[in-house]
Amino acid sequence: MTQTIALLGHPVAHSISPAFQQAALDALGVEARYEAWDTPPGDVPDALERLRDPALLGANVTVPHKLEALRLADSADAVARRIGAANTLVRREDGVLHATNTDVAGVQRALADASVALEGVEVVLIGAGGAARAVVAALRNGGARSLTVANRTPERAEALHEVAEEGDAPPLELRVCPLDVAAGPLRAALERAALVIHSTSLGMRHGPDEAATPLPADCFSPGQAAFDLVYTPERTPFLHAAGAAGARPIGGLGMLVHQGAESFRLWTGLEPPLEVMFEAARAALAARQGVARESKS
Ligand code: NAP
């Protein structure tokens, strides 16, 4: 029987997950299809019922359904509960749906691939949405010393204390400061930071602020690592600014592929073919950019 893995989100047509997940399934000869299910708000309970069918292995969950998926799943691991969101559902025996969050592993592996050490370092994080919660958990797991968070809406940054302080690992010292590069606290934190992370949607291709970066080049210094969660374009305005100042730019594609690889491992029980997944992800992004250029000309 050909099995199915679904991607639940709205919209999902832009996602490159089907391209690299299907490439991985095909490379290992797994008889399964990875399908994007566009799931408008309100349809999530029905979609989860469909996932209970024995023909389903599980699902990825993306914006805006990660919170609801966690709430509706039958069980959840500590990572998903700590973050308050699920990006992966695994169908277990008798149709039981188990929720987890592989974004945390995605952040950790992407930074490890780029040889960024977290133990004892000071970090600045710009943004405090859903993805930022996974970043905070990853920094804590990696033993980072302190984190300064700046976000347009300060209350959301304050809410990250829950992730920084809950659980068994030693707490991560977290400070919140205004998202104002002219002000002292953010400047001072940036000067001390070994790693600067961007997790807002600024600079995302086809987003409302495609050309924007929250930090100009004079906020970075040589030797710093600058990690942007945005993965399209490959060189975002944030990464461009970081590179211009001599910092080391790290794009978001590594996180995307690694979170998907961890989900793949959970659905199939197989070692994910990372090289195949990265190659297919890059090809899918390049194809999408080609289509976008054609439609503009
Ligand atoms: P989200 O929950 O919607 O949060 C969006 C964040 O962007 C919030 O911090 C928001 O600030 C900020 N923001 C939006 N517009 C802004 C503006 N004009 N000026 C300043 N800040 C602004 O989204 P998310 O899930 O955290 O995702 C954030 C980004 O990470 C997206 O670009 C997404 O594609 C990327 N991402 C990448 C991966 C990966 O695997 N590489 C995984 C997940 C997400 P407020 O709180 O003030 O609204």
Average pLDDT, the chain: 95
Residue 61: closest CA among 83, 32, 90: 90
Residue 176: closest CA among 140, 210, 142, 151: 151
Asked if 125 and 147 touch (Cβ cutoff 8 Å), the reply is: yes
What span, in angstroms and rounded, lies between the C-alpha atoms of 234 and 20? Answer: 17
- Is 267 close to ligand 1, i.e. is its CB under 6 Å away? no
Distance of CA 184 to the CA centre of its chain: 29
- Is 156 close to ligand 1, i.e. is its CB under 6 Å away? yes
Quickly state the pLDDT bin for 294 (edges 50, 70, 90): low
- Is 142 close to ligand 1, i.e. is its CB under 6 Å away? no
Q: Please write the tens of the pLDDT for every residue from 254-284.
A: 999 999 999 999 999 999 999 999 999 999 9
Whether 66 is catalytic is yes
Q: Tell me the helices (H) and strands (E) count for the chain, helix number first.
A: 12, 12
- Predicted model pTM: 0.96
Q: Please write the tens of the pLDDT for every residue from 107-166.
A: 999 999 999 999 999 999 999 998 999 999 999 999 999 999 999 999 999 999 999 987
DSSP-based helix, strand, coil % in the chain, nearest 5? 45, 20, 40
Q: Which of 65, 66, 82, 258 is catalytic?
A: 66
Asked if 7 and 250 touch (Cβ cutoff 8 Å), the reply is: no
Quickly state the pLDDT bin for 297 (edges 50, 70, 90): low
